[in-house]
Amino acid sequence: MKKNLLYLVAGLTFSTIHSQEIKDAMRYTQSELHGTARFTAMSGAFGALGGDLSSINVNPAGSAVFNNNQFATTMGNYDTKNESNYFGTTTSASESTFDLNQAGGVFVFKTRNPNNDWRKFSMSINYEGTNNYDNSMFSAGVSPVNSVANYFLSHANGVPLDLLQNGSYASLDNGAQQAFLGYQGYIINPITESPNNTLYTSNVRSGGNYYQENGTYSNGYNGKLIFNSGLQYKDFLYFGFNLNSHFTDYVQNTNFYEFNNNPLDLNYEVKSLNFSNSLHTYGAGFSFQVGAIAKLTDQIRMGFAYESPTWYNLQEELSQRVTTIRSNVAETLPPDVVDPFVINYYAPYDLRTPGSITGSFAYVFGKAGLISVDYKYKDYSCTEFSPENDPYYRGLNSAMSNALGSSNEVRVGAEYKINNFRLRGGYRFEGSPYNDSATIGDLNSFSGGLGYSFGSIKLDFSYVNVHSTSYNQFFAQGFTERARIDTHKNNFTMTFIFEM
């Protein structure tokens, strides 16, 4: 008998099995340019400047530069367009969202004793959006090479047939679950009908073309709450320290469709299939930062900051479904559906993202304007899942260490003052975190903006354009086809500032 049930009983399963991949880690190791409109208009080049609430996210000493208490809130509109090229077929998908980008305040306490070398003390609390996960990607094309059946085969070979015939989806580990879906959905067959059989073959006939579509739709956020304190020593040294509380919530729905135009016979062979996955990841983390700014002359300032790794504790939920249409089934009959109605609740796991160091330089042209440059170094090969004594995580950490490398980021920003108006611009370059520089390519970003001061109230606006390339691999093993993705982002932000 081919299978036991098409529709299994609904339920939940709590498991220690794993489903994490390198791309899951990368979701939390890279951050977007978020913050106040002044900060984003200058591409975040604020490590030696300070005096802006978002500058504290780069160099904690920036809070000690403030002369007055300040409160700011920032709203942003984010437009993302992904253009896909898959075997020569071009498609596109876009997403637009409106969100809170930043909100916080800084309190400045000046010493009253003129002989005290410690001139002032600052405290601030600031929320910063780190990543906006609202995104859509759609790829379609004709592969002359591989069927997605190879994904299920790669997981099935080595799994006893008895588990796939008589076992339950909820009791299996992640790899065996993929084999179960492939077997119960008629996508793969055992070489023999022996319960001990561990070898399988595809029910998709080779030798032709495979029309394939892959849609990925996500939403969610990654943000952090910054608790900062700063000190000013005399008139030229500023120090700061941050404690950062991170929190994230990410939902991703993927759907892969394949249609096979190969000649089929009366044996059950797959004509088309749909494979959908729904992933929910959520959790919290912790990091800290230290930094200093030196005002060497009235014009020249330098900064240095260290950001620790972020230690996340994350949880995941996953549900899956397969639908297939076979060649020996009349078109009037419904398709075969394998929907376990099970949500896999995986055991919580830890993720350590890499730390970074930032060096900064700024030149201030009196009251006319300024130019600023930041350089950041980050080694992505230090990314680690844990517990480290887990064989799965040891293998995944080794793969990340080999695939990922160090990255250099350069930010350049400038500001010019015309009475109460401010004109701003910037450029940002971030090198690929991958050694192959292709899986995720280099990032280039241009920004601009303007501001107006009404005195104690200020309004700032910014525009940021980001372009990057990547290769979206649909599955981690067996079927490793991937599409080239060109991503274009256009972000608009507005900040309202009140100073007292």
Domain boundaries, the chain: 11-147+204-499
Q: Give the pLDDT mean for 400-415.
A: 96
Q: CA-based Rg of the chain, rounded to a whole angstrom?
A: 27
User: What's the pLDDT score for residue 261?
Assistant: 76
Q: Would the pLDDT of 6 be above 50?
A: no
Q: Would the pLDDT of 278 be above 80?
A: yes
- Residues in contact with 334: Cβ distance below 8 Å, sequence separation at least 6, in sequence order: none
What predicted TM-score, i.e. pTM, was given to this entire model?
0.91
Rounded Cα–Cα distance for residues 445 and 468 (Å)? 9
User: What's the pLDDT score for residue 2?
Assistant: 47
Q: How confident is the model at residue 209 (pLDDT cuts 50, 70, 90)?
A: confident
Q: Give the pLDDT mean for 102-128.
A: 94
Mean pLDDT of the chain: 92
> Given its phi and psi angles, is residue 29 left (phi above 0), alpha (psi -120 to 50 degrees) or beta?
alpha
| Greatest pairwise CA separation for the chain in angstroms | 95
Q: Would the pLDDT of 176 be above 70?
A: yes
Q: pLDDT tens across 427-438, in order?
A: 999 999 999 988
User: What's the pLDDT score for residue 327?
Assistant: 72
CA 104 centroid distance within chain: 24
Rounded Cα–Cα distance for residues 481 and 146 (Å)? 8
The topology (CATH level 3) of 11-147+204-499 is: Porin (2.40.160)
Q: Give the pLDDT mean for 238-254.
A: 97
pLDDT-above-90 percentage for the chain:
82
Q: Give the pLDDT mean for 384-391.
A: 88
Say which residue, 332 or 312, is predicted with more confidence: 312
Q: Which CA distances in Å does 248 have to 284, 318, 392?
A: 6, 17, 24
Whether residue 223 contacts residue 208, with contact meaning beta carbons closer than 8 Å, is answered with no
